[in-house]
Amino acid sequence: MAALAWSWRIGVSCVLVSTSLSLYLIACGDDDAAANKGDGGSDATAALTPEQMFRALQPELLARCGGPNGVCHVNGSFNQAPVWLGNPDPYVSAKAYRGILPASGDPKDSIILTQIEHTGPSLQSTPALLGKAQEWVAAELAASIRKLPAAGPVPVVEGQNTIDLSKVVPGVTDGAKLTFLGTTQNNVLTMTNLKVTAGAGSGMRMDSPFFVIVPEKGKTIADPNVNGFSGEMTVLPNETKDFYSGTMILLPFPAKTQIKVVFKKLEKPASLDGGAGGECTALGVFQSSAIPAFTASVPLVEGGTSTCVFCHGGGNETAVNAMDLTALGSDPKTACAQARNWINFSDKSKSLIILNPTGAANPNHPVQALPDNGPVVSGIRAWVDAEK
């Protein structure tokens, strides 16, 4: 029923507008559907599949964007127009054309919705058709790509930039940020010294982030293959790391272009889950190897000696706030889960619980650099290696 109502309305509106003149008599865009006025029919879309929604707007879209005899976006014979309503099936063509269903999963990034008037018209000049196209893109994305976690769009300045990641995934990215040095020249943005910092409350595991280019006017570009990085990366709470290669070049990048950063995945690292995921899997090795290491005497930078468990077990408030081993004697399981937060599961040799004692991480850590193969570090490492 809904489908009928939908196409009926389109039919009516086409008849109604068939007398209007279009500005695009020669170029791509056809008068028939050009001045179609909205009828607010979005309620009719509820029961339609994305394909049905497309089929309902297909005649109007073909008329508007296909050009006379399809010379524009149907067969591309006019001005080498990109073919995104191609034969044999414009639906298959539109779905497959890169950027129509943007990789970010955000309908706002779709090239057909953001395109401005070019040789042909912009959908923005036909609000009713634009509305239906928006609904189609949104429905299509909702059915296939999940809207990916993202921050922005934000403006870019020359020099130091900070992109606040706080709102990207509540509970995971609070206080997190991305920073970079931006320079623009000849419509190219060069980002260097790209770094990511996790908030104090949680680490982050990211997968294949990319930048979306959002020009002041014109097509948004959401292309992970060109403007992104691939693979996973983990940042611990409060840690700052190079963001993948640390550099990125974005173009075209005319004045007033904004950027968005999108993550294919962004979540709490399993080891920082606090829940079941945060529990130690090698409690036995923790007790037989790590606890003896934590209770062994270690030399301090300031002179004298102490033990990991003296400071982290209550002797030093800052130390406890960082890594809480107060339960070491009474509840080793809890203490182990705390220590486990400092394991880097993507590269165990880069775990802060090993790097700090060897003097290779926090420069303010009060313990003198311990030998990598000494009993303390070896004891900790045996347990780190055993954790899964």
Please give the residue ranges that form the binding site for ligand HEC (CB under 6 A).
298, 300, 306, 308, 310-312, 316, 318-319, 322-323, 342, 352-353, 356-357, 361-362, 364-367, 376, 380
Distance CA 270, CA 208 (A): 18
Residue closer to ligand HEC (CB basis): 57 or 293 = 293
- Closest approach, Cβ 82 to ligand HEC, in A, equals 52
Residue closer to ligand HEC (CB basis): 110 or 344 = 344
Residue closer to ligand HEC (CB basis): 168 or 336 = 336
Residue closer to ligand HEC (CB basis): 135 or 324 = 324
Q: Which of 70, 42, 68, 67 is closest to 56 using CA atoms?
A: 42
The burial of 366, by beta-carbon neighbours within 10 Å (0-12 exposed, 13-18 middle, 19 or more buried), is given as middle
Non-local CB neighbours of 74 within 8 Å, separated by 6+ positions: 62, 66, 67, 83, 85, 86, 87, 90
Distance CA 255, CA 24 (A): 28
Residue closer to ligand HEC (CB basis): 112 or 322 = 322
Distance CA 57, CA 11 (A): 10
Residue closer to ligand HEC (CB basis): 126 or 234 = 234
Distance CA 84, CA 120 (A): 14
Residue type, 375: P
Non-local CB neighbours of 220 within 8 Å, separated by 6+ positions: 99, 102, 108, 109, 110, 111, 114, 212, 213, 214
Residue closer to ligand HEC (CB basis): 196 or 261 = 196
- Closest approach, Cβ 257 to ligand HEC, in A, equals 38
Q: Which of 120, 19, 23 is closest to 65 using CA atoms?
A: 120
Q: Assess contact for 200 and 253: CB atoms under 8 A.
A: no
Distance CA 319, CA 219 (A): 51
Residue type, 156: V
Residue closer to ligand HEC (CB basis): 181 or 361 = 361
- Closest approach, Cβ 376 to ligand HEC, in A, equals 5
- Closest approach, Cβ 215 to ligand HEC, in A, equals 42
- Closest approach, Cβ 342 to ligand HEC, in A, equals 4
- Closest approach, Cβ 242 to ligand HEC, in A, equals 18
- Closest approach, Cβ 330 to ligand HEC, in A, equals 19
- Closest approach, Cβ 108 to ligand HEC, in A, equals 39
Distance CA 370, CA 180 (A): 34
